[in-house]
Structure 1
């Protein structure tokens, strides 16, 4: 069984120990919040495990699984690693290595709306893959932003069993739901706290500290078409091109629910390139 560490333990639906507004912005690409979360999680992990000398092998940090577009956890991971490396280097220890868990399936459902059984049924259709040879004689640290029902952790441990990984394993979370009396839909309350409409994304995207992720791409592509078109009018060519490329990379052009909005982007880019010529 892996060792589990979470920075915040949610036992009260009215007091999370962190700002719901900041968490929501983080989930939609606010890198400034990701910096705060990643560094705080690293400091907590260092104090809980590294200062005591619990880990002697080189650490491999692994963000939550993704196909092409990173998740919000990926930006948290970047700052977690930066903070951790400074401590490791200052104490004469090998710095962190990184690898990726590859996933094979993408889905349109909003994970935060589902209960424990529905989450496991949805994610259970997926399969995770990792480079076993690269991990030999190393300590594995799997990162995720929040643990609600544990279905994601069970899938990771299923992969660990399938690959017969013998490594020491840590599962790290910024926050963890520890009360059985709180419905898993509390995750959606957090996710949408600062982002109710597509236009709420504007300040995040134009903040100067924006990192695109899977959640924001799906949210935009699945939005009502008329509002989506108005929203795009206020975005830069760079953002629109990046949105389109990320969507193609995840295969969203093959999903019927995203096609109207993606077709609009494609037509915009075709017209723009034609005018350039």
Structure 2
């Protein structure tokens, strides 16, 4: 299902689900702080952690009921990385930590972590 541009995207791709907190339809009108994004992009891990928290909060707000009613274990897939992890790694790790705390506090197994090679 693809929702309107103002809403979060949730698509089924080969039984995988994808989620995005922000959509960019106009580079002059952003739903996030472009200066914070610039700090993140150039390696500010504290900003990445904040983005990871916001991403997971948005995800849990939208899919809380689905997560708790599903009988399947979730898998979180991070982007490929080499020796030095990219900034996205810190967003992913923060998202996964918060998601797993939520899952375990609700008696669910933690999400499986997978990295694309």
Q: TM-score, normalised by structure 1?
A: 0.34
Please provide the CA RMSD for this pair.
Answer: 1.7
2:21 match: secondary structure? strand
Is 1:15 the counterpart of 2:29 in the alignment? Answer: yes
Is 1:73 the counterpart of 2:111 in the alignment? Answer: no
Superposed, which structure 2 residues align to 1:146-161 within 5 Å?
A: none
Q: Which runs of 4+ in 1 moved over 3 A?
A: none
Tell me, which stretches of 5 or more residues in structure 2 are unaligned? 1-12
Indicate the larger mover: 33-42 or 60-69.
Answer: 60-69
Residues 10 and 28 of structure 1: CA distance in aligned 2, closer, same or farther (over 3 Å) = same
Equivalent position of 1:90 in the other structure: 105
Superposed, which structure 2 residues align to 1:112-131 within 5 Å?
A: none
1:10 match: secondary structure? coil
Q: Using CA pairs under 8 Å that are at least 6 residues apart, name the structure with larger relative contact order, 1 or 2.
A: 1
Tell me, which stretches of 5 or more residues in structure 1 are unaligned? 103-277
Is 1:43 the counterpart of 2:45 in the alignment? Answer: no
Q: CA offsets per residue over residues 100-148 of structure 1, 9 Å max, x none?
A: 211xxxxxxxxxxxxxxxxxxxxxxxxxxxxxxxxxxxxxxxxxxxxxx
Contact persistence 1:49–1:55 (CA under 8 A): no
Measured in 2, the distance between the counterparts of 1:65 and 1:49 equals 26
User: Between Structure 1 and Structure 2, whose CA radius of gyration is higher?
Assistant: 1
Q: Aligned to 1:59, which of 47, 71, 74?
A: 74
